[in-house]
Amino acid sequence: MTTRLQVPADMSEKNKIEACEQAAETNGGLAIKTRFFLPPHVEAMMPGLMLTAAIAALALHTGAKLTYVTPLIASMGIGILLRNAFIIPSAYKAGIFFSMRQVLRFAVALLGIRITFDKIIGLGWEGLIVALAPLFLTFLFAVIIGKLLKVSPASSLLIGTGTSICGASAILTAGAITRSKDEDIIVAISSITVFGTISMLLYPFMFKADMLPITDIQYGYWTGASIHEVAQVVTAAFGGGDKSGEIGILVKLTRVAALIPVTLILSYLVNRGVIKHGGAEEEKSITFPFFLLGFLGMVVLNSLQFFTPKAVHWIEFFDVFLLTMAMAGMGLETDFRQLLKVGFRPLFLSIFTTGFITVFSFLLIKWLI
């Protein structure tokens, strides 16, 4: 009999993979034996990696033939279907975690091959306003509305941070600084993931169906300024074309970069006692988004014309495949039954906060871009 593996949301990536390896070794009949002369921790990830790679290949083949569905969306859809229709054996978990975290970060770093400093400068002051103004106001909105809805201050802070900056990564970082309880972190990540996924699926559908009175350029700004996770932005933004995809990435990574000053501010407020500890007994480790440095390095090399056109083409193709693998991993970890544990107050706060950043950024873009 196969059992589900329950992994705490705030566990470090290393510990998650180790837990998955241990479960795989003891999951009766599914023990992983050394067959490929690989290190044990690498071989433990092979089943999950092969599964996400197979889903990615299928999605790239089928998604390219569909009008309203990109390969990235198709990949996540296949993963969600498998996750919620079947029990995923524990032997696959390590590779799935690796796909949706490390593979995703590497793929995001490679996205820099599409961008040069000339394109970044081309965003202008309007691009900075579109990226940062909704971020600041959405965070304040979440805190204020959270008080009115009587949501715990920790949950309000985490939902506001995840919605305004970069989803689960921002939530885990803010949760580590404020030592938030596991329950608050899980609630925030669950709600953010669901509503970010809804936005990711809805945006490209409405744009391709000509339901939005905006250009592809404006669409790119809108996806980057309002959708929660980096992978979700990539999926939705490129649903409007290459140009909107590039702009969406630039705007989104500007929001992600804001995690650095926000982290410093939160640390200062916690140390000064302005923000109380969330109640967790042990301090959690804080992960710096190092993939930003990789992204910056690729932008530098591309700006210097380091790569030949043929090399750029193959790097872009490989990057799309990695992104599709990451989306498969995210789909395989999306359990809609977790919504039943969220509670209606944080759920409504996530709905209102997502609606606010969606509408406000749309109006701002219509006015400025």
Task: Record the tokens describing residue 207, joined without a space.
Answer: 């744009």
304 contacts: CB under 8 Å, gap ≥ 6: none
Q: What is the average pLDDT across 310-338?
A: 83
Query: What's the rounded Cα separation, in Å, for the pair 287 and 291?
Result: 11
Query: What's the rounded Cα separation, in Å, for the pair 318 and 306?
Result: 18
Task: Record the tokens describing residue 365, joined without a space.
Answer: 């873009």
Q: Which residue has the tokens 């569909």?
A: 66
Q: Find the domain containing 189 and state its range.
A: 114-324+346-368
Whether pLDDT at 134 is above 90: yes
SS (H, E, C) 103-150: HHHHHHHHHHHHCCHHHHHHHHHHHHHHHHHHHHHHHHHHHHHHHHCC
Task: Record the tokens describing residue 221, joined without a space.
Answer: 């700004």
Whether pLDDT at 255 is above 60: yes
Q: What is the average pLDDT across 14-30?
A: 51
**8 A C-beta contact, residue 89 and residue 275:** no
Confidence bin at 63 (pLDDT 50/70/90): low
**Angle at Cα 214 formed by Cα 129 and Cα 170, nearest 5°?**
45
- Provide the number of structural domains found in the chain: 1
Residue 156 lies in a domain: yes
Residue 118, CA atoms < 13 Å, CB-side half-sphere: 6
Task: Record the tokens describing residue 161, joined without a space.
Answer: 């941070």
Residue 194 backbone dihedrals phi, psi, to 5 degrees: -65, -50
> Which percentage of the chain shows pLDDT scores above 90?
22
Q: Which of 136-150, 192-206, 275-289, 321-335 has the lowest mean pLDDT?
A: 275-289
Contacts by 334-338, CB closer than 8 A, 24 or more apart: 334/76, 334/79, 334/80, 334/83, 334/84, 334/193, 334/194, 334/197, 335/83, 335/84, 336/80, 336/84, 336/194, 337/84, 338/186, 338/190
Q: Three-state DSSP class for 221? A: helix
Query: What's the rounded Cα separation, in Å, for the pair 228 and 207?
Result: 18
pTM of the model: 0.68
Q: What is the average pLDDT across 16-34?
A: 49
Residue 214 lies in a domain: yes
Confidence bin at 362 (pLDDT 50/70/90): very high
Residue 363 lies in a domain: yes
Residue 263 lies in a domain: yes
Q: What is the average pLDDT across 237-260?
A: 86
Q: What is the average pLDDT across 220-242?
A: 88
Query: What's the rounded Cα separation, in Å, for the pair 311 and 209?
Result: 34
**What's at 345, amino acid-wise?**
R
Residue 276 lies in a domain: yes
Residue 22 lies in a domain: no
Residue 354 lies in a domain: yes
**8 A C-beta contact, residue 258 and residue 138:** no
Confidence bin at 129 (pLDDT 50/70/90): very high
114 contacts: CB under 8 Å, gap ≥ 6: 242, 245, 246, 249, 302, 316
